[in-house]
Amino acid sequence: MSSGPRPAEGTVLSIRVLFEKSGGERYGLTLQAFEVVLEQVACKYVPQAASQQKLEFWRDLKLEELALARACAAGHEAAWQAFLIRFREKLYDIARGITKEDSSARDLADSLYADLYGTSERDGRRVSRLNFYMGRGSLEGWLRTVLAQEFVNRYRKQKRLVSLEEQAEDGVQFSAAPAGPTSPLDSRLGAALDEALGQLAGEDRLVLASYYLDNRTLTEIGRMIGVHESTISRRLEKMLKGLRKQVMAGLVSRGMNRGQAEEALEADVRYLQVDVTRKLQENRPAAFQQDKGSD
């Protein structure tokens, strides 16, 4: 293991306190190993921080779960027993919640177990995925995120593999060539809209993308942002009103009068309805969700 610069005396005392708080000794972890882990985490997220800032950063970590994960990665038996007791069934439940199907959920969970145990070797050493857990969030949440990432990756891999028989059954060979854009979008309208969207805050843009692109419900968006769904509803309505005002103002500033701006918006709607569908099918990564139920 790599060791960073030697910490100050006060920092060592604090690390000892953090180590006792983590309970790493129960899992067979030593103070030195724990100190190395903390330094790794600090180097990744607060590389330029001073000792005191690092201490404050470390205090916010999930120390107990970090020690458990790293002890498992180091191959301590006691840690694995504790991990299995705490997370074995939970991992299957999480996978089932993601895949909505038992067999694929068990397959997903088992593959993650293999990754967590470390089937691959690097430089003669077994590499466990638990080594990438940094303690920023809970270990259960991290496992959930890792499972979701694995699920998304699997889906994207499988999406590239298309069965020719299935395509033939779907009648792809008889389908007409996709028509190109018949009435291109007015560049002034696109520029005005891009300008308005660019002025939105990141969270507002996330709300719009989740609602219009991912077809998330207000409840799901509210949970993601951490607000109530009614707040999301109000924000959406307010944002659309503001966007319309800004787009109208942008169109007017680009040489249109108000009537022309209104006409441009309404005329493009018919075109955009078809175009948006195509764009979503092509560009939207989250579109797999519409099909995953049929897989």
37 near other proteins (CB under 8 A):
no
Separation of alpha carbons 117 and 74, rounded Å? 10
Query: In whole angstroms, how close is the CB of 32 to other proteins at the nearest point?
Result: 23
Q: How far lies 189's CA from each of 206, 209, 274, in Å? A: 22, 19, 17
Q: Which of 142, 250, 256, 261 binds other proteins (CB under 8 A)?
A: 142
Give the long-range contacts of residues 147-152, CB within 8 A, separation 24 or more.
147/91, 147/94, 147/95, 147/98, 147/108, 147/109, 147/112, 148/98, 150/108, 150/111, 150/112, 151/95, 151/98, 151/99, 151/108, 152/288
Q: Which is nearer to other proteins, 79 or 221 (CB)?
A: 221
Binding to other proteins by CB under 8 A, coded x per residue (else -) over 207-246, reads: -xxx-xxx-x---x--xx-x-------------xx-xx--
- Of 258, 290, 261, whose CA–CA distance to 277 is shortest? 290
141 near other proteins (CB under 8 A):
yes
**Where do we find the tokens 């690097």?**
122
CB atoms within 10 A of CB 214: 18
- Of 87, 126, 124, 85, whose CA–CA distance to 109 is shortest? 87
Q: Which of 24, 118, 135, 250 binds other proteins (CB under 8 A)?
A: 135
In sequence order, the β-bridge partners of residue 188 are none
Separation of alpha carbons 171 and 190, rounded Å? 36
Q: Which is nearer to other proteins, 15 or 134 (CB)?
A: 134
279 near other proteins (CB under 8 A):
yes
The number of residues that bind other proteins (CB under 8 A) is 63
Q: Which is nearer to other proteins, 4 or 97 (CB)?
A: 97
Angle, helices 63-73/77-99, rounded to nearest 10 degrees: 100
Query: What is the distance, to the nearest Å, from the Cα of residue 9 to the centroid of all Cα atoms in its chain?
Result: 39
Q: Which residues 151-190 are close enough to bind other proteins by CB under 8 A?
A: 151-152, 156, 185, 189-190
Query: In whole angstroms, how close is the CB of 264 to other proteins at the nearest point?
Result: 10
Q: Which of 3, 53, 145, 158 binds other proteins (CB under 8 A)?
A: 145
47 near other proteins (CB under 8 A):
no
Judged by the rule CB under 8 A, the positions of this chain that interact with other proteins are: 60, 97-98, 132-138, 141-142, 144-149, 151-152, 156, 185, 189-190, 193-194, 197, 202-203, 205-206, 208-210, 212-214, 216, 220, 223-224, 226, 240-241, 243-244, 247, 265-266, 268-269, 272-273, 275-276, 279-280, 283-286, 288-289
